[in-house]
Each structure stands twice: as structure tokens, then as C-alpha cells.
Structure 1
């Protein structure tokens, strides 16, 4: 009732022509949704109240089974990426006789493997069974992590990081694809924010684990503390991977009654069909067809540019413990004070992602969050004041993580179907962004301490490019929406689908 009153009040301030357009679109949406029901025999005779109740049941089941599972899996995924950052502080680089350049080469080689596997693997997963494939991918990288404590030379470190990247590459794009297949475009930003926040929470947990393990387990059973750190993390990662075989679904049209009742299964397909304007994601085509469609779509390269820029702005992440160590705290304190900036970033990510989904607006949410990062980078490289520098780290963490999450939900909202094309788009954008990891590690060498001005300058450039790419993408969405309106005027057919900005 309150929502209807608010809508009536807002429409009262509009012209009669504008009110007529709004009513036409709303009626068309209801009419289209009713038409989609004819394809679902178990839903066709239900009232709107019954459909709403069934929709809540589906959403609740996804939120309490699927979402916690992928959040835990992604938490381990991100922990596995950054574990060497804290292991470096505990002597991994020294014990393996590596120079700064060799260490940075190992960090870069992770992303060589990461890029190689993404596009083909994500398209294969799009046509396969993620319930089986995603846990298997996680088991593969966990085994490599468990092998890393045996490394004694630079080449071994580089090889392991390459293999970890190769096995991890398909995971994040596949999770983004799977999330966008189950949640509507209004629901996706917050849910992606929840699991993508694993990227943030992993940094909190890594710092706390480092304080516990790296300070207390050195020389236990003849192993260095960093070896225990990697070994224990790999074991936990295997345990989490095994839960995926029971808690992950496949696609809405291929998930059996082990996950949903027959009615819930049809509702899960119906709700995403309505969200996508009636386009079925099962009209997939072949493997190469989806890749070719994505490569021809300007959206792919716009989002690839945005993703690349956001990752450049996030390039401090792999070196965050080293940056914190320049503040002059003790070793244990250095591990512990990494947590608060990421905890704040976690809360900010959820709030801003919720706002983005509720308003169906992405561009200005990205620009607002990344501007905070710009201020943080400028502060970090311009002062040695401990309080100011620590505050700058909070700003750094709160910007690109938010922007990256909203960018992921944006690209899956404007290119909803077919699934193979969406899979290729996500993977291509992620691949392009990963190229930045080939050069950004060399901006955070120990010779750059304490200000890391080269790295800070790269972050500032990344934030500027993000703002430009977001504005260009918004302009392209608006242009395509105008074309839709023009076609409606010419043909008289009402199309409720719009490209969200």
C-alpha cells in the first residue's frame, strides 16, 4: 500500500503523457509475464499471491544453499591468490632465494595461467554441469596449493603459481555466470556483492591467520611457518570443495528435484525469463558461436576496458601486507591491522550493491566508489603520517572492490542471453583485466617503500580510466534504448526490455 501511494504521488508530478507511458509499460510488463506463464503448466493456474509466495521459496532456497556455498568457495579462492603475500613477510621469498624481480615474475605467471584457461573453460561450463565442474576445479587448485610448501627454488614457485592460475581461471567467471542465471537483474548486485565480498573477507582472514600461524608455527615438525600456512589452507580448501557436490545447482532448466520441487523448478525458470524480457538462455548455440557473438558485441570490449581499469586500481591488493608494514607497526600488529580496512570495505560493498540493484543503476555507483579509491591513492603517496596513511588504505579498499562487483552485475544484466555468449563476455573481460597483473607487480618493489609512488600513480590512472569507461558504457546503453523506443514508434509493438545503465 505504501509503495502504491509513493508511486501515485510521484506520478502526480508528471505530465499526463508521461503517466500514460508509465502505465503502458507497467501493463505491458504484467501482460508479458502472463504470456510467459503459458509455458509452465504448474504455474499457469496460480494467482499472483501464490506465485509471489512460490517465488519467495525459490529465492530463500537459493540464498540459504547456493549463496553460502559459493561464498565459502570464493573465500578460499581469494585466500589462495593472496596467501603468498603474507607468506612473503614470513620469509618465503628469502627461504627460496628469490630476488624481487623473481618474486614479481611468479606473481605475474599466476595470471598467465589464469588468462589461458578462462574463455574455453567458462564456455564449457556454460554447456556442462557446474555442480560437478566447479568443485573439481577447486580440488585441482587446492592440490597445487598443498604442493607449494615443497618449493625450494624460484622456478618451483613460478611453476606452482602458474598452475594455480591455470586451475583457478575458470572459477570466478563461472560463478558470475551461474549467479546471473539464477537471480534476476534486481537481485544480482547484492548477491554478487555477498559472494564477491569473499575477495574482501579473505584479506581479513588472511591477516588473522597470519598472526596465528606465521607467528606460532615456525619450525613445528621441521617446517617453516609459511609452509604450514599454505598446507593448512589447502586442506581446508579441499573440504570446502567437497560440499559443492551437494550444495550447488546446475542451470535452472537442468537442475533436478534434488534441489527444488517441480513447482519451484518451474518458478526458477519463469522468474529469470521475465527478468530477461522473455529471452531464454537455453538458446545457446555451439561453443565457438557464443565466443564469436561476444567478440562482435561492443559491450564486451567496453566492459573489458572497465574491468581492466578496475583491476589496475586494485593492484595494491597483492602487496597490501607490504604496504601496511611501512606504517611502522610490529610484526603481529602488521598482520592484525590489515583486517579493519577490509571489514569496512565489506560493509560498503553490501550497502552500495544493494542500492545499485534496487535502483537498477550501475554507472554512477561505480564512479562514486572508484572516486573514493582515487582519494586514497593520492593520500598514500603524498604523506608519511601514520594516521593519514592508514585512513588512505581504508579508502583504497572501499573503492575498487565495490566497483568491480557492480561491473560484474552490469555486464550480466545488459547481455542476458544466450548463456554461452554471456559466459564468453564475462571470461573475455576477466582475461583482458588480468593482463594488468603482468606489469603492475613491478610498481610495488621494495625499493619503492614507503610511499610506493609508482604504484599509487598506477592506481590513480586506473581510477580515471574506470570513470571514462563507465561513462562510455552508459552512453552506449542509452543509445541502444533510444533505438528500441524508435522501433516501437515505427512498428507499434511495445518492448519492455531496456538496457540498464
Structure 2
């Protein structure tokens, strides 16, 4: 059955004439910009960890868990900006909104090079978090607006992989900068890192300002013909839209099972992902005092490399399997329990600990697949609800991660992070249970929608028959 679906997927990729050409165009202009935007987003965000292990800790006199407090302040700003950013896409063209946010966070990144104490970084990172909150959830909303269910998984996977690539590239970039620019013009290498990262965002923002196509119903891109614009609109379901920003809309959101189901899914999944996103391998290595600066920056990139491969594999596989995104939830459940147990083992060797952290990188696959699942499930719902649910998913996850990382993955808990390992086991089991329940709800909702559509089609046929004078029994 699986091989039959794959053959059908490959041999009949499109249903309409000219659809392949349209998809290639939007792939190029949407994915190139969104991936580059997310690449720099993660590059600017994750290099705090690279700077921390490359001399910033000692130069600025970090104490206790100040590093984790800075990450928490960033997360607070990131949470505050999520839902407003997605709803802003109703009033501002994405072609204007995304590049504007890029310029703001790029400027704040460069400003970090001038700090003199950890408190300065906290203030900068709060506003940087607000600016960066637009990228992840905004792009997933845009992808769901342009792509069909059979195309969405791969595109979501490519997009989220670009963020992991940004984090991975940051390690190599820090190594190169530290060796070539450390001490240049009297500045440490980690300061140059923030300057260079910020400068990288500017040309990408200009590219988006000129060429990003907005949404199918609002695009004015010169490279899309009128027939291609009409085809783009016809590829996604036409759903009734009611304007947000009123009490009725708020009631619709909080009375919808989509909001509760997918927000809780990503809260749980996000905390399994935090096992890797909190740079635990780098902190483990730093605490042992056995590794050079180059090794501290380069070895942890293997976790991200595994994450990229896993993300692309699962995103593509679930497209082939007709959108069975829930399978990733079960994979994460197995991975979380086994890898945490390997690290908890008091007799574990250094090799097995490294292996466990690398394997845990496969958990990154849940980003692409779970947001694609939410887009698929709400394809027939109003766009404003879909925008809020997607934003709320990331908002809820980051709200929990704001204190979760301090409680379970604080830098002063290295090298073993015993509480964090047990937290990983618990959340992995919870994810399997929640995924099963959400699958049941989504399946029932789809059955009801299909039944309702069939009843509606039957009524329409009867109406047509009556209009021609035929007798219906």
C-alpha cells in the first residue's frame, strides 16, 4: 500500500494544467526568502550560546543561571509577539511586514556587540524576541495559504531545516570569527559575531521587500500571470471569512477543539524539543573543561545535522503517506525515553552520551510535521482561526519553555541534567498519549466534514432535478 501511494504521488503530482509551473515559481520566491529569513533568525538567536562558550561568559562576568535568564527574557518577548504578528498579516502585506521585522532584529543583534554586562543583553533580547516572533508562525501560516496537503509537509520541512542550518552554521561561523577576528580593533571574537550576523539580514530583507508574493488572494507579484493567480486561489479551499478582533471571534477560538488540541500538542512536543534546543551538549562539554573553543562550537553541530536529516525525512514521508503527520509523535516518544535513559545511566561512557544527544536531535522533526498537521486539519476553517491557532501553538510552547529551561536545563545543572532527563521521559510519554487523542478528534472531524459535504451535494442535485421538472421521491 505504501509503495502504491508513493508511485501515485510521483506519477501524478499535479491535477491542473500549468500547476507544476506555478508551484515551481512559488517554491522559488516563497521558500528562498522564508528559508533565508529563518536561517538568519536562528543564526542571530542561537549565537548567544556560541558567544557564551567562546569568551562572553568570562568577559561579562556571568554568574549562576544568568545565561538561562537571558533566554527566558527573549522567550517572553517571543511569546508576547506571536498572535499579534500573525493577525498583523491581515492588515499589513507580508512583503512589507517580514522584511521590516528582519531589519529590526538585525539591528538589535548588532547592538549586542556593544554590551558591558548580562543585564544589557536581557533588555536587547526582549525586543529581539518580539521582532523574531513573526518569522516561524507567520511562515507556517503563509505556507498553509499557498500549498496543498500533498505539498505542505516537504515545504514545511525545508523551511524548518533552514533554522537548524542557521544554528549549525553559527557554530562554524563563531569558530572562524574567533580565529580570524578575535582582538581586531580591540574587540573580542564573540562581539564580531553579533555584528556580522546582523549585517547578513539586510540584503535578505531587501530581497523579500521586492519579490515576496504575499498570499494568493492579495498577490501582485509581477512574475505571476492572471491565470496563475486564479489557479493559486483555486488550489486551496474557499472558506467563509469573518473579521477577527471582536468578542465573537475570541469565543470561536476558545470554543474550538483545534485550539486546545494543537496548542497542547506543541506545548508537549516543544518541551521534548527543548532537550536539544537548550544546547545541552555544549553545556555538558563546557562543564567537563576538556574541550577547546573550536570543539565547543563544532561538536554540537552534529545534533543539528541529525535534526535536518530527520526533519526532511519525516516531512517527505508523511506527504507520501497521505498526511499521516501523527507518526512523528510516536517516534519522539521512543526517542525521548531511550536517549534520556542512556544519559541517566551512571556508567554511561562519553561516547554513549554524545550518541544519545545526537540521536535526540531527531526530535526536531516535530516542528515541520506538527505545524503541517495543524494546517491540514484546519484547511476548511476560516483563515483567521488558522492564523491564531498556529500562533498560539508556538506561543504556548514558548510560554512553558520560559520557565521549563531554567527548572530542568539550567547551565548550573550540567553535566548530567538529571531533572531534565526525567522531564524528557515524562513529556515523551505524554506526547504519545496526546497524539493518539488528537488523531481521534481530527479523524472524526474529517468524517463529519465529508458527510456534511455529501449531504450538501445531494441537496444541490435534488434542487437541480426539481428545477427541470423531474419528480424526486
TM-score, normalised with respect to structure 2:
0.88
Q: What does 1:22-33 correspond to in 2, within 5 Å? A: none
- CA distance in 2 between counterparts of 1:90 and 1:66 reads 35
TM superposition shift of 1:326? 5.1
Label 1:452 to 1:182 Cα distance change in 2 as closer, same or farther (>3 A): same
**What's the CA shift string for 1:362-383, capped at 9, x where partnerless?**
1123322442233222212325
Label 1:98 to 1:341 Cα distance change in 2 as closer, same or farther (>3 A): closer
TM superposition shift of 1:252? 0.1
Q: Secondary structure at the match of 1:218?
A: coil
Q: Secondary structure at the match of 2:274?
A: coil
- CA distance in 1 between counterparts of 2:341 and 2:327 reads 21
TM superposition shift of 1:319? 2.4
Cross-structure match for 2:434? 469
- CA distance in 2 between counterparts of 1:348 and 1:112 reads 29
Q: Secondary structure at the match of 2:61?
A: coil
2:254 to 287, 292, 295: 295
Label 1:192 to 1:57 Cα distance change in 2 as closer, same or farther (>3 A): same
Cross-structure match for 1:285? 243
Q: Contact between 2:96 and 2:209, CA under 8 Å: does it hold in 1?
A: yes
- CA distance in 2 between counterparts of 1:370 and 1:242 reads 42
Q: What does 1:83-482 correspond to in 2, within 5 Å? A: 83-273=47-237, 278-279=238-239, 283-288=241-246, 290-316=249-275, 317-320=277-280, 321-325=282-286, 328-359=290-321, 360-382=323-345, 383-399=347-363, 401-416=364-379, 417-442=381-406, 443-482=408-447
**What's the CA shift string for 1:245-281, capped at 9, x where partnerless?**
12311110111241301111111111123xxxx436x
Does 462-471 or 486-495 show the bigger shift?
Answer: 486-495
**What's the CA shift string for 1:10-53, capped at 9, x where partnerless?**
9xxxxxxxxxxxxxxxxxxxxxxxxxxxxxxxxxxxxx999634
Gaps of 5+ in 2: 461-473
Does 238-247 or 263-272 show the bigger shift?
Answer: 238-247
**What's the CA shift string for 1:128-153, capped at 9, x where partnerless?**
31011011011111111111111112
Cross-structure match for 2:34? 70
Label 1:266 to 1:196 Cα distance change in 2 as closer, same or farther (>3 A): same
Q: Contact between 2:29 and 2:213, CA under 8 Å: does it hold in 1?
A: no
Label 1:266 to 1:387 Cα distance change in 2 as closer, same or farther (>3 A): same
**What's the CA shift string for 1:377-400, capped at 9, x where partnerless?**
22123254121111111111111x
Does 180-189 or 149-158 show the bigger shift?
Answer: 149-158
- CA distance in 1 between counterparts of 2:270 and 2:376 reads 21
Does 143-152 or 287-296 show the bigger shift?
Answer: 287-296
Number of aligned residue pairs: 447
Q: Contact between 2:73 and 2:122, CA under 8 Å: does it hold in 1?
A: yes
- CA distance in 2 between counterparts of 1:267 and 1:353 reads 25
TM-score, normalised with respect to structure 1:
0.83
**What's the CA shift string for 1:458-479, capped at 9, x where partnerless?**
2222222222221111111123
Cross-structure match for 2:467? none
Gaps of 5+ in 1: 11-47, 496-501
Q: Contact between 1:294 and 1:422, CA under 8 Å: does it hold in 2?
A: no
- CA distance in 2 between counterparts of 1:111 and 1:469 reads 24
Q: Contact between 1:176 and 1:192, CA under 8 Å: does it hold in 2?
A: yes
- CA distance in 2 between counterparts of 1:177 and 1:141 reads 21
Q: Contact between 1:203 and 1:338, CA under 8 Å: does it hold in 2?
A: no
TM superposition shift of 1:56? 0.2
Q: Secondary structure at the match of 1:90?
A: helix
TM superposition shift of 1:207? 1.4
Label 1:248 to 1:290 Cα distance change in 2 as closer, same or farther (>3 A): farther
**What's the CA shift string for 1:55-106, capped at 9, x where partnerless?**
0011111122211111011011111221111111012233222312322211
**What's the CA shift string for 1:305-348, capped at 9, x where partnerless?**
11111121122313242234457433312322222332232122
- CA distance in 2 between counterparts of 1:446 and 1:123 reads 36
